[in-house]
Amino acid sequence: MEKTNNFLFSGKYCGLKKNKALDLGLMISKVPLRVSAVFTKNKIKAAPVVISKKNSKNIIKALIVNSGNANACNGKYGFEDAKRVALSVAKKTGADESNIFICSTGLIGERLDASKIERAVNELAEYASGEESGFNDFAEAIMTTDTFSKTSFKDVLLNGAKYKIFGTAKGSGMIMPNMATMLAFIFTDIPIEKEIADEMFKECIGESFNSITVDGETSTNDTAAFFYPAENPLIKKRGANYNAAKAALSDLCLDLAKMIVKDGEGATKFVRVTVKNAYTESGAKKIALTVANSPLFKTMITGEDLNWGRIMAAVGRASVPLKSDKIDIYINDKIIVENSAASKKLTKAIEETVLSPDEIELTIDLKCGKKSRSVLTCNFTREYIDINASYRS
């Protein structure tokens, strides 16, 4: 990562995590920013989500993120504590609390000790830098059960000049964003008009973060945010610059989304479920998610036991219009099912080896329309149970 001119980052341990890992990240901008953001559609929203959704209409000067505590389901105290955090950052950066974007992730239902964050803000701000080390500390500070920090970097040429888009995300369990415990923060030095950036980001989200699932759970804190300079927008409408910027943003979002799935709690296999030739794209996605979220399918992948009837049952359970006797199923380009029955090409050797790779491509051909959609997921292992059986303790 090259040094950033406008964005300063830092991360430190402030006392929220029991394991003393970094648990507080800060971004300070040297220029006024706009933010395009999508938030959880869960009816129960954490206090930081409510506050940041409101503040996302304003100029943004800083971003503060804590891990180790979700600050969700804490009633009025959740909002009081979130506002204390935002105010401490505002005072340090010379901004108003309405110019602060705030996020939390971690245990739900435990009150956030805002005083620990307040005491750490001065040092966070003092050591914030545009160097790679600062961004890496920020990326590490937002992690919960993640086993590695997730970052991606892209360059894009606009009018002969090189611009940067870069970002980080966290997520490992409780993942099926519906708008990201998923958080994603993306930054660029490309000035973009807010309306067009909103449009661009939502399209990219649909193809990436909203097309992944680890366990079918939508968090109270899911947030994905895209920060960009507010003044003198270079991109004001669709066109060549818009297309180039969107392509880079889309690739970056997909990079981060894949990392989340590959880091799924206890996961050992990465799976892409593609439903093609459906009547509608929404129907294709619904079937893909039904299969991807099926515990029977996910454990089948772990056991490498080709019980393909579980796939057929999940397809039918999605209650999407289809021709029930016309379905073909492929795994890693090997045909398993033809016209909703076992393929004559399905040999014993294929059955024994087709699920052995670490990355699996499952294609379900409905043969009744022209629409397609893919979803990314992973398998379930005993480690997923172990992690979540003792998460609070």
pTM score of the predicted model: 0.88
**Those residues with Cβ within 8 angstroms of residue 382's Cβ, 6 or more apart along the chain or in another chain:** 266
pLDDT tens-digit readout, 199-220 = 999 999 888 888 887 665 566 7
pLDDT tens-digit readout, 227-250 = 999 999 999 999 999 999 999 999
Q: Rounded to an integer, what distance in angstroms lies between the CA atom of residue 368 and that of residue 373?
A: 14
| CA dist 67 → 7, 225, 260 (Å) | 21, 17, 16
Catalytic residues: 181
pLDDT tens-digit readout, 164-180 = 999 999 975 444 555 44
**Annotated domain spans of the chain:** 7-262, 270-389
Residue 146 clears pLDDT 90, i.e. is over it:
no
| pLDDT of res. 3 | 76
Average pLDDT over residues 30-47: 93
Give the chain's radius of gyration (CA, Å).
Answer: 22
Q: Would you say 38 and 45 are in contact if contact means Cβ atoms under 8 Å apart?
A: no
- CATH architecture of residue range(s) 7-262: 4-Layer Sandwich (3.60)
| pLDDT of res. 260 | 86
Token couple for 375 = 């979803």
**Those residues with Cβ within 8 angstroms of residue 101's Cβ, 6 or more apart along the chain or in another chain:** 35, 37, 52, 55, 56, 60, 62, 63, 64, 225, 227
Fold of 270-389: Ubiquitin-like (UB roll) (3.10.20)
Torsion of CA 282, 287, 292, 298, to 10 degrees: 180
- The chain-wide mean pLDDT, for the chain, equals 92
